[in-house]
Amino acid sequence: MYLFEHGFIRKIPLTHPAFAAASNRLTIDLGALADNWRKMGRLSGKAPAAAVLKADAYGIGIEPAAETLYAAGARDFFVANAEEGADLRPFVPDGRIYILAGMWPGNEQLFFDNDLVPIINSEEQLSLFMSAISQHGDHPCALHVDTGMNRLGLTVAEALALANDPVRPASFSPVLIMSHLACADDQSHPLNRRQLEAFRTVTQAYDGVNASLANSAGVHLGPEFHFDLTRPGIAVYGGEAVNGMANPMKPVVTAEARIIQVRSVRSGETASYGASAQFSRDSRVAIVAVGYADGYHRSVSGGGVALRQATPSGAFGFLHGRKVPHLGRVTMDISLFDVTDLPENAVRAGDYIELFGNNVAVDDVARAGGTIGYEMLTSLGHRYERDYIEAE
C-alpha cells in the first residue's frame, strides 16, 4: 500500500501507524482507478478516453490519480479551472490539459506558463483569448458549443457563424470542438438524439477538427456519440453513470470510521437529537466518529431529518460481514448505527465500520441522502487518513 503525504506517494507497510490509528480513513485503490479508465477506453471504441481530474480528482487526490492515469496511457486531461491545471501540469508532462471554465482576465499567464488549453465558452471569452494571443503568440484552444443543456458554450448559431466568418483570424484554430450531454444517464431521453444532431451540424462546419461529446453516461449511448475523444468522469472513480443499469465499474474509494463506544439501549428509549431514533426492542448502538464535517451528509440520516421524506430508511454501514442501519441524525462529528443483530461480543470500541466501498456502494449512500455519488466523493473532508493501493 502507499501513503500520500506532504505531496509525495511513498510505499508503506499495511500496519502504517497513522492509518491504523486514524479515526477516519480512506483506502483508495489506484489499480481499480486505472482498470476503470481502461474499461471506459474500450467502451469508447476508436475514440481515446480522456481523464477528468477536476475537484482534486473527484476527491481522491490529483497527484496520485494523475500519475496513475498517465501511466495507464491517458494523454488528454480535463480540469475545472486554470489553478487546477497548474497543479496538474507537473504530473502529466506531455499531456494536453483542457480548462473547462476557460480564460478570464488576469489568469491568462497561467495558461501560457503551464501550457493549458482554454475552452472557449462564450463570445466574451473568445475576444479575451484573441486579445491574449495577439500579445503572446499562437496558443491552442477548444470551443464549447451548447447543444441543448443551456449551461456553458456558444449557441449553435454562434458557432456556425464563427465557422463561416470570412474574416475569422487564422490564429483562431481550435484543436477540439466539444459539447456536453444533459440527459445521457437516461438512455431513452429524446434530448440525447437532439443534441447529437445539433453537434453533428457544428462539427461538419469545423471539418478536420477533433470533436468530443460523450461523458461517462454518453459513452454507453454507443459509437455515434463517441466522435474523436470521450470524457468519462464518475465511472472512472467507481460511480454509477447510467440510471437503471448495474454498475460495471470497480469501487475505487472505501471510507471507514472508528467506533468510539458501544451502548446498550432499552426498549422504549430514544437516541440522537430530537429523540429521532426510537427503540422498540432492547438494542446495541455503535457510536461512530464520522459526521457531516467529514462529508457524511446529514441528509443520509433518512427519516431522522425533519421534513425529509425521500428515503426514510437512511443509509447503511457494513461491519463484521453484514449491513447495519444508521440511526437518528448525522451530526458534525458523530453518527449512530444499530448493531443489535450482530453477535453480542462481535462489536467493540475501536472497530472500523465501512461507510461505503466494496460492501456498501457509494451511490446507495448517496441515494439515502437524496444526492449522487459525485457529491459524496467530492465532499470527503480533510480528517481522513488516506492510503493508496498502487496500480500495477
Q: Looking at the annotation, which residues are catalytic?
A: 54, 273
- AA letter at 295: G
Instruction: Take residue 94 and report the three cell numbers written for it.
Output: 506531455
Considering only CA atoms, which of 291, 358, 247, 361 is closest in space to residue 300? 291
Instruction: Take residue 360 and report the three cell numbers written for it.
Output: 456498501
Considering only CA atoms, which of 234, 237, 194 is closest in space to residue 215? 234
Contact present, 253 and 389 (Cβ < 8 Å): no
Q: Which residues pair with 27 in a beta bridge?
A: 254, 387
Grouping H, G, I as helix, E, B as strand and the rest as coil, residue 384 is strand
Contact present, 299 and 369 (Cβ < 8 Å): yes
Considering only CA atoms, which of 22, 20, 30 is closest in space to residue 388? 30
Q: Hunting for cell 484573441 — which residue is that?
A: 130
Contact present, 3 and 19 (Cβ < 8 Å): yes
Contact present, 28 and 57 (Cβ < 8 Å): no
Cα–Cα distance between 280 and 103 in angstroms, integer?
Answer: 59
Q: What is the DSSP letter of 153?
A: S
Q: Hunting for cell 461538419 — which residue is that?
A: 204
Q: Which residues pair with 328 in a beta bridge?
A: none
Considering only CA atoms, which of 99, 100, 170, 164 is closest in space to residue 130? 170
**∠ Cα 383 388 390 (to 5°):** 175
Contact present, 238 and 250 (Cβ < 8 Å): yes
Instruction: Take residue 53 and report the three cell numbers written for it.
Output: 481530474
Length, in residues, of the chain = 392
Taking only Cα atoms into account, the Rg of the chain, rounded to an integer number of angstroms, comes to 24
Contact present, 61 and 276 (Cβ < 8 Å): no
Q: Hunting for cell 483506502 — which residue is that?
A: 27
- AA letter at 217: A
